[in-house]
Amino acid sequence: MEIMLGPAQPVRAEHPSNKYTVIYLQYTSTNYERLSLQSLSNLLKNSDIKVNVVADFDQMSLPDEIILSGKLESLSSHARIIIVELGMDINSATNFMLAVQRYEMKTKDYVYIIPWLAHTNDQSPWEAATVDKQEVKAAFENVIIITAHGYDKKFFDDFQDKFSQATGMISSHYATLTYMALYDALFLYGLALRDAYEEIGGFDVHQNGSLIWSKMTNRQFIGVTGQVLMNHKAIRVPSYATYHITNGTKRIVVELEAKIVNRERCEKNTNQCSEHIAREVIQFYWPSSTGQLPKAVPSCGFTGSDCDYTVYIILLGVTAFLLTASPLSYFAYLKHKEQLLYDMTWRIPRDSIRFMDSKQSRSEHSLASRSQSSGSFSGSIGSKPMVSARQAMSNGVRIVFIRFQQTRNVTFPKAELKLLKELKLTENENLNKFYGIAFNQQNEFVVMWLFCSRGSLEDILFNDELKLGRNFQVSFAKDIVKVSYNICQHSIILHSFFNNRFNTLECFCFPKKNDFERGSVRIWLMIQKLCFDKVIGSNS
C-alpha cells in the first residue's frame, strides 16, 4: 500500500499478496481537500488497492451516534482492513475506536490502521483525564499505527532538554516538534553552504542557488529527528515506524528505512530515486493462532455467505439428534421395561377360573397379618398341618390352587413385581410351574400352579414294595437335607426348601435375595403338596 504522511515523499510498502481490500475512513466532506486525504485516496487508487466502501465520520461525533448511524454495519459487511484517517493526530480517532469496540468489531479478524500524521498531543488517547482509560485502552488494543520515525519519544525528549538549556524556555509539545523540523532544515542548509564553499570558495557562495540546490538534494545525514534523507526534488523521504499497541504500550514491529538509489536508475524514472527497506522487528505479533495478520477477504466472505455450510448443518443436526434421541431412547427403554413389569402376565382373571369338586379334604391357610406393600388379608376357614391341593381349570389348563379371603385391594411394589415375573418364567422338570395369581376380584386371593400328579419323596422312602434298608433311608434323607441347606445358603433368588412338617423335600420356595428368614414373599411349590407359608411382605 502507498501512504503519504504530510509534506513528504510517498512510500510504498508491499504486502505479500499485494491485494488489499480496505475501507477508507475520512473526515467530513468539507475537509476532504486536505493534502493527506487527497494523497491517500490517490495512492490507494494508483496502487490497485480496492476500496470497497468510503465512510464519512465527524471526529466530534459521539460513539453512540456513530453506532446509530448504521455505517458500522456497512463496514462489517464490506471489509476487514480499515484505514482510519479522521485527523492529523490519533486522538481524533478515539470516538470511532470506542464505537467499533462497543459494536463488537474489535476481534482478531479486523485490522485497524491509523496514520499518525502530526503529533499534536503529548499523551496517548488512553492517558487523557477526561475519558474512561480502561475502555479507551481496550478500544485501541491491537491497533496498528504508522508514523514517521522522527517522532520517537527519545528524539523528542533529547531535543527538548537541549532547547531548554540553550534558551532557558520550556516549549510546548507541538512547538518542540516544529523546532525539531526547523533545526534539521537549517542544518541541511548549513551543510550545503559548507560543501559549496569548500568546492568553489568565496563568501558569496550562498548566492549561487543552483549549486546550493545540488548540494541539498540526493543526500542524507543524521539530524535531531533521526535520519534525514533528501531526494532529487529536495523533498525529505522519511523513514517510517509501524507500531502495534498492546495493553497501552506501543512497540515497533516493522521499520521502513529510506535509501537513495543510484543516479542512473533515478534518471530513468524520477519516481524511483529513493526506496524503503522494510525490516521486521517483531514476528508473529498478531493475536491469532498463527500470529499472522488476517486475510483481506475472509475465506467465507465478509458476511460468511460464500461457504457451503451444508455439511456443518448436517453434522450439527445429527449431533443434536443423537444428544436428544439417546436419552429419550434410554428413557423409553426403561419405560418399556417398566411397562413389561406392570403387564403382570402372571395375573389371571377370576372369571377364567373354574373350580372342580373333589372328595379330598379341603383346607385353606389363613393370612392374618398385613403387608406394608402388598395389602392385607383376613384368616380363612380352618387350618390343618396337612394340605390337600384343590384343582381347577383356567383357559383349558388344569391347575391346583390355594384360595384366601381378601379384605382390601392389593398393590405390589417393583421388587415383588420383578419377583413374580421371574417366578412366572421359571421352568424345571422337577418343579411345579407357577401359573399365576387372581386378586382384587370377588374378595379372593387365589394362588395357582400347574397340576402335577407325580408322587412325593415319601412314596419312595416308605414304599413297602421297595426293599430299602433303614440305613439307606436315613443316609438318603440326610444327603437331601444337606443339599437343600447348601442351596438355601447360596445368594440366588429361587432355591429349594426342606419342609419339616412333611419330613420330605417337597417344597420350592421363592424368597427375596439374602432375606430367607425375614418375612419375604414365600410361595412354596411342591411336587405333590402345596403350601402358602408366610404373609406377603411380613416383617414379623
**One domain, residues 369 and 511:** yes
489 pLDDT band, cuts 50/70/90, is low
**One domain, residues 432 and 300:** no
Q: What percent of the chain has pLDDT over 90?
A: 17
Q: What pTM was estimated for this model as a whole?
A: 0.54
- Mean pLDDT, residues 363-384 taken together: 36
Nearest residue to 186 via CA among 224, 238, 239: 224
Residue 532 lies in a domain: no
139 pLDDT band, cuts 50/70/90, is very high
Residue 374 lies in a domain: yes
Tens digits of residue pLDDT in 450-459: 887 666 667 6
For the chain, the straight-line distance linking the first and the last C-alpha, in angstroms and rounded, comes to: 96
Which residues, 6 or more positions from 423, have their beta carbon under 8 angstroms from its beta carbon? 346, 434, 494, 510, 523
**One domain, residues 492 and 370:** yes
Report whether pLDDT(304) > 50. yes
Residue 427 lies in a domain: yes
Residue 539 lies in a domain: no
**One domain, residues 119 and 156:** no
- Mean pLDDT, residues 252-258 taken together: 89
User: What pLDDT score does 380 carry?
Assistant: 37
Report whether pLDDT(367) > 50. no
User: What pLDDT score does 492 carry?
Assistant: 46
User: What pLDDT score does 328 carry?
Assistant: 92
Residue 293 lies in a domain: yes
Residue 466 lies in a domain: yes
User: What pLDDT score does 425 carry?
Assistant: 86
User: What pLDDT score does 454 carry?
Assistant: 62
Query: Any idea which of 23-32, 42-51, 421-430 has the lowest mean pLDDT?
Result: 23-32
- Mean pLDDT, residues 408-430 taken together: 82
Q: What is the DSSP letter of 31?
A: G
Tens digits of residue pLDDT in 70-127: 888 888 888 888 888 887 888 888 999 999 999 999 988 899 999 887 777 778 899 8
**One domain, residues 67 and 162:** no
- Residue 515, domain extent: 350-526
d(CA 255, CA 381): 112
Q: What is the DSSP letter of 468?
A: -
Facing residues of 280 across strands? 254
Count of the separate structural domains present in the chain: 4
CATH code for the domain in which residue 98 is found = 3.40.50
Query: Any idea which of 25-34, 145-154, 304-313, 461-470 has the lowest mean pLDDT?
Result: 25-34
User: What pLDDT score does 440 carry?
Assistant: 86
151 pLDDT band, cuts 50/70/90, is confident
CATH code for the domain in which residue 392 is found = 3.30.200.20
**One domain, residues 338 and 208:** no
Tens digits of residue pLDDT in 196-215: 999 988 888 989 999 999 99
Residue 397 lies in a domain: yes
Residue 8 lies in a domain: yes
Residue 281 C-alpha from the chain's centroid: 36
**One domain, residues 412 and 511:** yes
Task: Give the cell for residue 336.
Answer: 418399556
Phi, psi angle pair for 314, to nearest 5°: -65, -45
